[in-house]
Structure 1
Amino acid sequence: MGAELEIAPGEDGLWVATLTLPELAAGTYRVEASLGPIPGQMAHLFVPLQDRKPTYLTDTGTILVDGEPFFPIGLYHVSASHYPMLADAGFNCVQGVGPQDLEQLGATLDACAENGLMMDAPLYAGGLVAANLADSLAGIEAYRDHPAVMCWKIIDEPDIRPEITDEVPDVYIALKEADPDHPIELTLCQPPGFEYWADFCDIMQVDPYPIPRQPLTMVSDWLDTAMAGLEPWQNLTAVLQSGWIPNPMNQPTPEQARSMVYLSLIHGAKGIFWYSFRDPGWELENTPLWAAFPAMNAELKELSMPVMVGEADGRVSVTSEGDVVHWRAWEYDGRTWLLMTNPLEEPITATVDPGGICSVCDMHGEGLEEIDGTFEVALPAFGSETRLLTRR
């Protein structure tokens, strides 16, 4: 294949071998090294695809459904019998079923469509990747044109599944060849590896679960790490915890949940999923957080357009003691949308400099006032606020 090997003496009596390879096609390669009769070592070399943006992602990482921007607000571990309940609560996406039973997959996709939901289709039954490829390709062949398909998911958390780690790159290539339109997804849980896995997905989900032991800024830290390794066209979706353990309950309060949503949007997410709706002994609709979802999802839907298609407004700045407040501003539809959240359990005041004379109000048009200079926003513990700025 035209490879060249150069061996040179190094430090401490060691020798350094440098292997130079020609340009390789995308795929997985095995490199073995041995010296005389001494058993050698093997490594895998992964060459990622080039020009791999799928049709249904924009150049800025927004998912497209029917040609329009789509912000998934989804739930894990949901059955079709609960789809009407989810739709009523403002969800628009679910983790669906796999292609091992094509008839069931088709029926579940139909149920999604009937309830105005899109499906994140999992391909990893039994935690398998390569062993599921034939079924995955059959599912894609049968349903890639179904209107409820949002994406195909290779595997959940391959970064802690060493038995399938080396299978993901080739399966990613095979899935993209079968469906160049829909995005291919991974969910990840180990931030040091986010950049590596970015080569083998179009949608990257990350699942920071800070409650009860970590600060809420675990969410922003993970999203910042993920964003640093993604191409502009790749979608970043945050998987946030709605809880799954009943005792002691690991569910955030409504204020904490809303702050995590704001942290996600401010730090680059263009999709939100929640984990989970069902787990052993767990029924989300019978927990305290469930009642907060309709209002929270309605707010998220309204904020999603500025987040997906707005332009950064560099005229705005926000300061707070210790720079505690997280914020971001977008220009959209003739106004500046300023999102702010306080991820701590102590109240704090944010000072906003809009960068010019403007009128300011909240998302409901209330509190309208003319501002020539700075203004303050009081943020309670885990408080989140949006201000709309209209410039003169």
Structure 2
Amino acid sequence: MNSVKKVILQAGILLLFSNFLFAEFTIGLYGVKTSSDVISAKEAGFNCVQSYISSPETINLLAEEAEKNDIKLVVYPTKIMSSKYKEVAKRYPIKAWYLFDEPDVWNCSKEKLLSLEKNTKKMYPEIQTTFVIGEGFTKVPYYDIADILMVDWYPVPHLPLESFGENVALAKQGLIMMGKENKELWAVVQLFDWKEYKQYRKDEDRIGRFPKKEEIRFMSYDAVFNGATGLFYFTCYSNGKPLSESRPKEWAKTTEVIQEMSFVGEIVDNGKKIENPIEIKEPLKGQSFEYGGIKYTFIINPTSKRQTLPSLFFQPQFDVMYEKSTNIKKIMRKTKNNLQPYRVLAFRYE
């Protein structure tokens, strides 16, 4: 089979699998505001959306649109519980009620967060709850509250890119410390430009940029490598307008990454973890799985320097996924198999 036909066949297989399995691994989009946002998120490949809007009327509209589009919601429960929608909300397609946004940043006491959890569970005992922390380690140990923990950490361009995965790992350690190692952990990946947000700098300089596709992709894989069981992306807006309208190129590259990660997440969730077919030495990280009769190996370079990858991975039996195999193999040969900083490679083989 020639290389072109192989790439087409591979893409068809991936699409087939993703159609059947897409909804199981949570791939969410932060900050939706309107029904049209819900539709755009679904079209892009997301299976969950979060909204900061707490108005019961707006949440009801979002829920109606989410139901039509087979997509889940993460929204605040507080105002809904005292509104005329409190009973119908039991039938909303809620993935989890959103208790609080960054309690560690806003100095929310553990008692207050526990009270929010208790009141929400009293009204909706069958629906999961969640909240997000602003860094992996929090002085107040919130880790035993809610059904799902989220962690956001936005390094581009101020901090080393690997600090994202490090904070996911810290959050995972916090869950283990509190005896909650099996709790779901969702990582929130940066999409936005820091120049659009307050930075608390004395010089008031506006420093920032949108993350590159390669950076979004690396953070996504790095999160999964460090224990994330779901991924969210923050946010779908730029300067108050939807990314799909105001920044179509940013929206397009995000869509490419999340469609890839939805399939990778299904492999991680449902596949059998196996030994790497070839030894992968630190600081490179590799994980391998068998799923649907096919084996997969994912390799990341979580450093700012080039790292040598075993040349055996470029034998014919290993197909490079999500990239043009012939091109990547030529590039690797030219660089003496040095994997670029923060690069990801995905292989499939039988």
Does TM-score exceed 0.5, indicating one fold?
yes
Matching of residue 206 in structure 1 with residue 206 in structure 2:
no
Could you say what the CA RMSD is over the residues aligned between the two structures, in angstroms?
3.3
Query: Is the contact made by 1:99 and 1:135 (CA closer than 8 Å) also made in structure 2?
Result: no
**Alignment partner for residue 119 of structure 2, among 161, 170, 174?**
174
Aligned length: 304
Matching of residue 79 in structure 1 with residue 33 in structure 2:
yes
Matching of residue 115 in structure 1 with residue 60 in structure 2:
no
Q: How far apart in 2 are the matches of 1:139 and 1:160?
A: 31
**What is aligned with 1:362?**
320
Structure (1 or 2) with the greater helix fraction: 2
Deviations 1:229-271 (A, max 9, x none): 3224311111111014345433211111111111011112121
Query: Is the contact made by 2:48 and 2:72 (CA closer than 8 Å) also made in structure 1?
Result: yes
User: Kindly tell me: are residues 229 and 250 of structure 1, through their superposed partners in 2, closer, same or farther at Cα, counting changes over 3 Å?
Assistant: same
Matching of residue 188 in structure 1 with residue 188 in structure 2:
no
**What is aligned with 2:262?**
301
**What is aligned with 2:343?**
383
Q: Which runs of 5+ in 2 are unaligned?
A: 1-20, 197-205, 327-335
**What is aligned with 1:38?**
none
Q: How far apart in 2 are the matches of 1:133 and 1:107?
A: 15
Q: How far apart in 2 are the matches of 1:358 and 1:197?
A: 49
Q: How far apart in 2 are the matches of 1:331 and 1:140?
A: 44
TM-score (norm 2): 0.75
The 5-angstrom pairing of residues 157-172 of structure 1 reads 157-172=102-117
Deviations 1:93-116 (A, max 9, x none): 211365542x43222101122233
**What is aligned with 2:58?**
104
**What is aligned with 1:63?**
none
The 5-angstrom pairing of residues 1-392 of structure 1 reads 70-80=24-34, 81-96=36-51, 100-101=55-56, 103-123=57-77, 132=78, 135=81, 141-146=87-92, 148-193=93-138, 196-230=141-175, 231-244=180-193, 245-246=195-196, 248-278=207-237, 280=239, 283-285=242-244, 286-287=246-247, 288-314=249-275, 316=277, 318-320=279-281, 323-351=282-310, 359-363=317-321, 379-390=339-350
User: Kindly tell me: are residues 196 and 283 of structure 1, through their superposed partners in 2, closer, same or farther at Cα, counting changes over 3 Å?
Assistant: same
Q: How far apart in 2 are the matches of 1:352 and 1:179?
A: 54
Query: Is the contact made by 1:194 and 1:229 (CA closer than 8 Å) also made in structure 2?
Result: no
Q: How far apart in 2 are the matches of 1:238 and 1:94?
A: 14
User: Kindly tell me: are residues 140 and 379 of structure 1, through their superposed partners in 2, closer, same or farther at Cα, counting changes over 3 Å?
Assistant: farther
Higher relative contact order, structure no. (Cα contacts within 8 Å, ≥ 6 residues apart):
2
Structure (1 or 2) with the greater strand fraction: 1
Deviations 1:10-49 (A, max 9, x none): xxxxxxxxxxxxxxxxxxxxxxxxxxxxxxxxxxxxxxxx
Deviations 1:66-116 (A, max 9, x none): x99622222222222222222222222211365542x43222101122233
Which has the larger displacement, 211-220 or 377-386? 377-386
User: Kindly tell me: are residues 68 and 252 of structure 1, through their superposed partners in 2, closer, same or farther at Cα, counting changes over 3 Å?
Assistant: closer
Query: Is the contact made by 1:339 and 1:384 (CA closer than 8 Å) also made in structure 2?
Result: yes
Q: Which runs of 5+ in 1 are unaligned?
A: 1-66, 124-131, 369-375
TM-score (norm 1): 0.68
